């Protein structure tokens, strides 16, 4: 799709009449509602859609992590790079809901998605409880919501990150109102806190306790403006979480209501609706004639929809009245309600712009700039019924004549801590316009915001190298994307190592382990720039020190021909070749027609689903029975894994998945069958091979299996019974099937030596 085609497609989803109707709907309420969660995609999208577009409630979402420890269904980004991508996805999802977005995580590694956790206590210990609460209080005092509502319950069986955020929601309810709490913003009293009165159990989680009783119901239903159900609007938002495979069609007639439990309140009396006992309109904010005038003008504007010519003067009058009210209200009134009036100003300005037919688009070229580079700015505008002028707000960027930006020395932040659709960060375009005799100002973001990238950068290829002393090979390196052009690359190598003509020579006596060397360009430390470019999000960048990582390995290799069938979510085929194994990566048809050429077939994570392997598996079953070795890496139950049809014999993956994983990367491994070939041929797997694992031991363990399979290891998280479904081996006819739910593909990327040695044994012939 060309850039112009993308713009046309985006425009088609938001015609002016819908934009105008949705802008007017925000004027129905002055209440603020903050949803809280631990990850991008934890927001309760359908309920939020109903609150915003039916009830006019102002939405915000406080999210603790960037989701950098999660899965990735669309690519191989992981760690902070995945966190950068998921940040962009969350912004697009929030945009659909017209929702402010706040992150507790402000930089990679602070309040981060370290892996799946089963404990809120463990989570807060890793995040730093005081640091996390302090950031949460800052967010609440900045946004000033009337209501907060976590998405999940703090109960055993729920993700520890979810539990931590729900526990902290109780604490922030008190701390945000405490003048003694160390925060540089004025105190704010949240009026109510709700919890979901439904279970969060499902494919992943398994709440051990029942949900609390419902205090009230938030009705679902259909949006009268668009005809979409609020469920579908929610899914339009969730569909931007593509890395998590979100977005599903909700059939007509399957709309839900949403039960909430009142967990804390500062208000007295019955509570039958979220807005009970809260100010519902501007005139509820104080006994001022200007507030009454504003409400009356808003009512006329709403009644006039969709007649823009009639909406404009009523909106202009309402905007003047809101401004006048702020001049006469007391300091105490403004302390309590000033943010509502400022929000009403922004909302009325948006309505005025849409009603007048004023349209402004801004682009910058190029999008990626080095410090000191200049980008041209293009502004398209249709004035409609407004008198309009535009100017460039450059912020910390340089401004050359108002139609060009000069990139600063500071790199763009991959983890911006705040995103508000009505208040874009600089650089942006300021639109000043006049309608019906009233002046207003609106800031418009660039369609793709510019990004500042490093002045000294290069990409080491490959950036991670495996040197197997049992299968020595020549390591050729290259440095690409060198900036400044013509710079001479070098590496800060360990003593005794050598690099001639970009050919790496590792001493024969180098001890097994992982070594790192920084890339230097003209003797200056260089960074690596990762561009994140997908059609559903604007271009993002992540910058990290440019390093070469070398893993020196001792692994004896079996003499086998391997077919690797990956789903695009791992690089196991690459790493097996790096070990020195003979590996091909055939397509499905080639695999079927040439299967007898291979001794071993390895199926990567999620590949049954993404490679559509179900039709291939019956042939593989026969091939295994005739003597082939099949290795399957972990799959989720929803990855088209039919326990009766996919593996050679029945093998069921456990659900909910929380019950069938070991999250502690250092969990003790009990080898149940120490004499089994997988631990002895061709390498002897020793205790040291289980050391130094990263992130977790494994996930999506098998729950049940045919008697042909033998469990080879048992392992468990603290205070839990041992699980035996992490590594299974079954002799099937004359062949063998090994199912491995240990997190081997991630360990290979992390250059964990034991993972390579175990893989060498798994692919060996029976």
495-531 residue pLDDT tens = 889 888 899 989 888 999 999 999 999 999 999 999 9
Answer for the pair 267, 191: CB distance below 8 angstroms, yes or no: yes
Q: What phi and psi, each to the nearest 5 degrees, are found at residue 692?
A: 75, 15
596 lies in the same domain as 705: yes
Residues 6+ apart with CB under 8 A from 149: 33, 34, 35, 36, 44, 193, 194, 195, 196, 260
The answer as to whether 318 is a domain residue is no
What's the rounded mean pLDDT across residues 457-484?
A: 92
CA gap 732, 374 in Å, rounded: 65
The answer as to whether 155 is a domain residue is yes
**Residue 11 has what pLDDT?**
86
165 lies in the same domain as 220: yes
Q: Give the domain-ending residue among 243, 263, 278.
A: 278
484 lies in the same domain as 592: no
496 lies in the same domain as 625: no
Answer for the pair 59, 100: CB distance below 8 angstroms, yes or no: yes
Q: Which tens digits make up the pLDDT trace of 542-567?
A: 999 999 999 999 999 999 999 999 99
Instruction: Determine the structural domain holding residue 608 and report its residue range.
Output: 559-762
**Residue 596 has what pLDDT?**
94
- Provide the pLDDT confidence category of residue 205 given band limits of 50, 70 and 90: confident
What's the rounded mean pLDDT across residues 194-219?
A: 90
Q: Which long-range contacts (CB under 8 A, 24 or more apart) does 434-439 make?
A: 434/386, 434/387, 434/388, 435/312, 435/315, 435/316, 435/352, 435/355, 435/356, 435/358, 435/385, 435/386, 435/387, 436/312, 436/313, 436/315, 436/316, 436/317, 437/316, 438/316, 438/317, 438/319, 438/320, 438/352
623 lies in the same domain as 757: yes
Number of neighbours of residue 542 by Cβ within 10 angstroms: 22
**Residue 12 has what pLDDT?**
87
What average pLDDT does the chain have? 96
Answer for the pair 533, 539: CB distance below 8 angstroms, yes or no: yes
C-alpha distances in Å from residue 6, one per residue of 2, 88, 248: 6, 17, 22
Q: Give the domain-ending residue among 259, 278, 297.
A: 278
Answer for the pair 297, 318: CB distance below 8 angstroms, yes or no: yes
CA gap 717, 664 in Å, rounded: 6
Number of neighbours of residue 573 by Cβ within 10 angstroms: 19
Q: Which tens digits make up the pLDDT trace of 570-626?
A: 999 999 999 999 999 999 999 999 999 999 999 999 999 999 999 999 999 999 999
Answer for the pair 167, 133: CB distance below 8 angstroms, yes or no: no
Q: Is the pLDDT of residue 452 over 80?
A: yes
What's the rounded mean pLDDT across residues 624-634?
A: 98
542 lies in the same domain as 652: no
The answer as to whether 17 is a domain residue is no
CA gap 739, 647 in Å, rounded: 9
Of 2-6, 673-677, 733-737, the range with the lowest mean pLDDT is 2-6
Q: Tokens for 760? A: 């060498």
Q: Which tens digits make up the pLDDT trace of 30-75?
A: 999 999 999 999 999 999 999 999 999 999 999 999 999 988 999 9
CA gap 292, 423 in Å, rounded: 27
Which DSSP helix (H) or strand (E) runs through 683?
none
Q: Which tens digits make up the pLDDT trace of 153-203?
A: 999 989 999 999 999 999 999 999 999 999 999 999 999 999 999 988 777
Q: Which residues pair with 731 in a beta bridge?
A: 736
- Name the CA dihedral angle for 325, 331, 332, 335, rounded to a multiple of 10 degrees: 80
C-alpha distances in Å from residue 386, one per residue of 313, 381, 414: 12, 11, 37
Q: Is the pLDDT of residue 1 over 80?
A: no
User: Among candidates 386, 459, 395, 403, which has minimal Cα distance to 423?
Assistant: 395
- Provide the pLDDT confidence category of residue 416 given band limits of 50, 70 and 90: very high
What's the rounded mean pLDDT across residues 89-112?
A: 97
Peptide bond into 682 cis (omega under 30): yes
Q: Which tens digits make up the pLDDT trace of 689-704?
A: 999 999 999 999 999 9
152 lies in the same domain as 221: yes
DSSP states of 496-542 as a string? T-EEETTEEE--TTPPSEEEEEEEEETTEE-EEEEEEEETTEEEEEE
544 lies in the same domain as 595: no
Q: Is the pLDDT of residue 473 over 80?
A: no
- What 3-state class would DSSP assign to 461? strand
DSSP states of 276-289 as a string? TTS--SGGGG-S-H
The CATH number linked to 528 is: 2.60.40
What's the rounded mean pLDDT across residues 703-730?
A: 97
DSSP states of 625-674 as a string? HTT-EEEEE---TTTT--TTTSSSS-EEE-SSGGGS-B--TT---EES-T
Percent of the chain's residues with pLDDT above 90:
92
Q: Tokens for 752? A: 């964990």
The answer as to whether 190 is a domain residue is yes
**Residue 152 has what pLDDT?**
96
- Provide the pLDDT confidence category of residue 26 given band limits of 50, 70 and 90: very high
**Residue 217 has what pLDDT?**
97
- Name the CA dihedral angle for 272, 277, 278, 281, rounded to a multiple of 10 degrees: 100
Residue tagged 């709907």 (tokens): 25
**Residue 10 has what pLDDT?**
84
The answer as to whether 501 is a domain residue is yes
CA gap 400, 376 in Å, rounded: 9
513 lies in the same domain as 583: no
CA gap 351, 440 in Å, rounded: 11
The answer as to whether 102 is a domain residue is yes
DSSP label at 242?
A: G
User: What is the tally of structural domains in the chain?
Assistant: 3
DSSP label at 26?
A: G
The CATH number linked to 720 is: 3.40.50.880
C-alpha distances in Å from residue 237, one per residue of 196, 445, 754: 20, 20, 42
543 lies in the same domain as 571: no
DSSP label at 471?
A: S
The CATH number linked to 124 is: 3.40.50.10320
The answer as to whether 755 is a domain residue is yes
595 lies in the same domain as 643: yes
What's the rounded mean pLDDT across residues 338-357?
A: 98
**Residue 470 has what pLDDT?**
84
Number of neighbours of residue 169 by Cβ within 10 angstroms: 24
Counting Cα atoms < 13 Å in the Cβ hemisphere of 119 gives 12
Q: Give the domain-ending residue among 502, 528, 552.
A: 552
- Provide the pLDDT confidence category of residue 207 given band limits of 50, 70 and 90: confident
638 lies in the same domain as 668: yes
Instruction: Enter the pTM of the model.
Output: 0.90
The answer as to whether 297 is a domain residue is no
Q: Which long-range contacts (CB under 8 A, 24 or more apart) does 397-400 make?
A: 397/426, 397/427, 397/450, 400/374
């Amino acid at each position: 799709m060309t850039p112009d085609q993308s713009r046309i497609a985006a425009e088609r989803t938001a015609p002016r009449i819908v934009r105008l109707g949705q802008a007017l709907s925000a004027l129905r309420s002055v209440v603020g509602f903050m949803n809280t969660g631990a990850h991008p995609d934890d927001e309760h999208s359908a309920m939020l859609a109903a609150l915003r577009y039916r009830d006019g409630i102002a939405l915000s979402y406080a999210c603790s992590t960037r989701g950098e420890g999660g899965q990735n269904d669309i690519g191989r980004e992981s760690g902070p790079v995945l966190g950068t991508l998921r940040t962009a996805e969350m912004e697009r999802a929030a945009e659909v809901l017209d929702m402010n977005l706040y992150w507790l995580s402000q930089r990679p590694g602070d309040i981060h998605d370290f892996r799946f956790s089963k404990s809120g206590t463990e989570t807060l210990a890793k995040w730093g409880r005081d640091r996390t609460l302090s950031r949460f209080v800052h967010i609440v005092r900045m946004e000033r919501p009337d209501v907060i509502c976590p998405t999940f319950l703090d109960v055993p069986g729920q993700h520890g990150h979810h539990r931590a955020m729900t526990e902290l929601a109780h604490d922030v309810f008190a701390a945000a109102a405490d003048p003694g709490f160390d925060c540089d913003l004025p105190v704010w009293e949240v009026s109510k806190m709700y919890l979901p009165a439904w279970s969060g159990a499902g494919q992943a989680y398994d709440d051990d306790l029942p949900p609390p009783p419902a205090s009230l119901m938030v009705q679902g239903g259909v949006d009268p403006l668009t005809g979409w159900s609020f469920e579908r609007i929610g899914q339009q938002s969730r569909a931007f979480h593509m890395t998590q495979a979100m977005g599903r069609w909700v059939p007509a007639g399957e709309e839900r209501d949403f039960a909430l439990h009142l967990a804390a309140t500062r208000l007295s009396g019955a509570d039958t609706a979220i807005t009970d006992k809260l100010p519902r309109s501007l005139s509820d904010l104080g006994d001022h004639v200007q507030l009454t005038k504003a409400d009356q003008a808003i009512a006329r504007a709403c009644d006039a929809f969709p007649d823009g010519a009639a909406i404009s003067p009523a909106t202009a009058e309402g905007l003047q009245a809101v401004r006048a009210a702020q001049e006469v209200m007391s300091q105490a009134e403004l302390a309590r309600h000033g943010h509502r009036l400022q929000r009403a100003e922004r909302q009325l300005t948006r309505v005025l712009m849409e009603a007048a037919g004023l349209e402004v688009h801004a682009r910058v070229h190029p999008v990626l700039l080095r410090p000191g580079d200049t980008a041209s700015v293009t502004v398209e505008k249709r004035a409609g019924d407004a008198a309009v002028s535009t100017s460039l707000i450059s912020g910390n960027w340089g401004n050359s004549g108002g139609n060009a930006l000069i990139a600063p020395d500071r790199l763009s932040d991959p983890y911006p801590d705040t995103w508000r659709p009505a208040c874009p960060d600089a650089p942006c375009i300021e639109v000043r316009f006049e309608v019906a005799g009233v002046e207003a100002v609106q800031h418009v973001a660039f369609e793709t915001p510019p990004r500042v990238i490093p002045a000294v950068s290069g990409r080491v290829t490959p950036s991670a190298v495996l040197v197997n002393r049992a299968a020595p090979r020549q390591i050729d390196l290259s440095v690409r994307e060198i900036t400044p052009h013509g710079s001479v690359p070098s590496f800060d190598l360990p003593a005794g190592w050598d690099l001639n003509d970009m050919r790496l020579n590792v001493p024969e006596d180098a001890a097994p382990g992982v070594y790192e060397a920084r890339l230097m360009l003209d003797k200056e430390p260089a960074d690596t720039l990762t561009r994140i470019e997908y059609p559903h999000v604007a271009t993002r960048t992540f910058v990290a020190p440019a390093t070469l990582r070398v893993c020196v390995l001792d692994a004896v290799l079996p003499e086998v021909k391997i077919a690797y069938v990956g789903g695009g979510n791992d690089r196991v085929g690459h790493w097996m070749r790096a070990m020195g194994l003979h590996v091909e990566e055939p397509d499905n048809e080639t695999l079927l027609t040439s299967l007898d050429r291979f001794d071993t077939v390895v199926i990567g994570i999620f590949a049954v689903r993404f490679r559509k392997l179900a039709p291939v598996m019956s042939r593989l079953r026969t091939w295994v029975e005739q003597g082939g070795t099949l290795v399957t890496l972990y799959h989720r139950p929803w990855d088209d894994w039919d326990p009766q049809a996919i593996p050679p014999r029945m093998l069921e993956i456990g659900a909910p998945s929380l019950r069938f994983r070991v999250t502690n990367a250092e969990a003790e491994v009990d080898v149940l069958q120490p004499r089994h070939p997988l631990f002895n041929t061709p390498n002897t797997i020793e205790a040291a091979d289980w050391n130094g694992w990263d992130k977790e031991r494994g996930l999506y363990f098998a729950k049940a299996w045919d008697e042909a399979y033998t469990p080879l290891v048992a392992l468990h998280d603290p205070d839990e019974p041992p699980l035996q479904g992490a590594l299974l081996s079954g002799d099937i006819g004359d062949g063998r099937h090994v199912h491995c739910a240990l997190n081997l593909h991630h360990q290979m990327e992390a250059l964990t030596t034991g993972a390579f040695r175990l893989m060498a044994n798994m692919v060996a012939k029976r």
